[in-house]
Structure 1
Amino acid sequence: MHGAGDNPSAWVARWAKAIPPGETLDLACGGGRHARLLAALGHPVLAVDRDAASLEQAAGPGITTFQYDLEEEGAAWPFAPGRFTGIVVTNYLHRPLFAHLAGALAPNGILVYETFALGNERFGKPSNPAFLLASGELLDVASRHGLRVLAYEDGVIDAPRPARVQRLCAAGPDVDPGAIRLDM
């Protein structure tokens, strides 16, 4: 059974359609709302989270689950370079993973990232600056790692609850931006 927070992010739902065929990664997948969306679009999905109960909720047709704590001291990045045609990360920030995420993205892949930004503290949690993106931080990540920005937003949203977020959709170097539909 899936809860009220089961609806995919509108940002992810929009840009998931741009992900080319192939294996996708839903990192810090929680209950699997995005893993299910990606699987419904025909992608084999690897849903990763450190919480076993979340992974039980995320499991389903086309979804392989993997319990792993990427923040555990000494934890190695477990994925090969260029493995994923799509990577989705929402409501999760662990800055040491940025280079690994870019490296695991296939040259024709799409990264969809959405999480909280500085200013969210006025709406509630997370409020610790360690878990909030600085202004333009996702743009800097894309630039540092050779990704092409397809779309970026930084501002306040009202749903599913008021929050300050940053959102990025970025492409690997082999993606033809002219082939990406913006009216999805």
Structure 2
Amino acid sequence: MTEPHAKTLEPSAWVRRFAGMIAPAGHVLDYACGTGRHARWLARVGFDVEAVDRDPEALARLAGEPRVSTRVADLEYGPWPFAEARFDAIVVTNYLFRPRLDAMLACLRPGGVLIYETFMLGHERYGRPSNPAFLLRSGELLQRLVAEFTIIAFEQGVVHSPRDAVIQRVCAVKANAAVLDLPVLGAA
């Protein structure tokens, strides 16, 4: 899949904008990290990062990067690599595989931050990905997260930088289980 930031090593402005919400020195998962532009930046600003991708050559670019550990894993069809892992934040950009979305979200600790930015329907007019299986539907992230997350920010639409794309992005904090068990006010 061609990503909008393919020609730059700069982290997404969306990731930079919300990284300050992550617990200081927190443990961050850079999910489907590719060559690791976010893992590298997050480590440099003080986080311990686990970078996971299926491409060992891409992960090799992170070799020797302080505060970054790498894991080669097929996040779509391989065994789930994070059964017991919990993270203070998960960063996902330019990637969508719905069948593993729930498993990925389960790896986030209560109070943890999700920073997600990827393509949505309409992007096919600009290039790849064009398969609807890899494009979010309008409002899909918001609808998926609203029951167990506090939505900090949500955007969707056309962007022109770093290239033309149709994207959807969210920053959300996973609710504490105790908060989820509160009764609904005004219920009979």
Q: Please report the TM-score for the alignment, with normalisation by the length of structure 1.
A: 0.87
- The percentage of aligned residue pairs carrying the same residue is 52
Query: In the alignment, what sits opposite 1:127?
Result: 130
Q: After TM superposition, give the deviation of residue 71 of structure 1 in Å.
A: 1.1
Aligned length in residues = 169
Alpha-carbon distance in 1 for matches of 2:107, 2:57: 26
Alignment-mate amino acid for residue 69 of structure 2: T
Unaligned stretches of 5+ in structure 1? 175-184
Alpha-carbon distance in 2 for matches of 1:121, 1:31: 24
Alignment-mate amino acid for residue 137 of structure 1: E
Query: In the alignment, what sits opposite 1:116?
Result: 119
SS at 2:69's partner residue?
strand
Alignment-mate amino acid for residue 68 of structure 1: A
Instruction: Return the match for 2:72 from 67, 72, 89.
Output: 67
Counterparts of 1:1-184 in structure 2, within 5 Å, are 4-21=7-24, 22-59=26-63, 60-72=65-77, 75-80=78-83, 83-144=86-147, 146-174=148-176
Alpha-carbon distance in 2 for matches of 1:46, 1:9: 18
Whether contact under 8 Å (1:155, 1:164) holds in the other structure is: yes
Alpha-carbon distance in 2 for matches of 1:86, 1:166: 19
Alpha-carbon distance in 2 for matches of 1:104, 1:81: 8
Whether contact under 8 Å (2:73, 2:81) holds in the other structure is: no
Greater Cα radius of gyration, structure 1 or 2: 2
Q: After TM superposition, give the deviation of residue 14 of structure 1 in Å.
A: 0.6
Cα root mean square deviation, aligned: 1.4
Alpha-carbon distance in 2 for matches of 1:92, 1:35: 15
Whether contact under 8 Å (2:32, 2:75) holds in the other structure is: no
Whether contact under 8 Å (1:82, 1:103) holds in the other structure is: no
Q: After TM superposition, give the deviation of residue 76 of structure 1 in Å.
A: 2.9
SS at 2:17's partner residue?
helix
Query: In the alignment, what sits opposite 1:179?
Result: none
SS at 2:35's partner residue?
coil
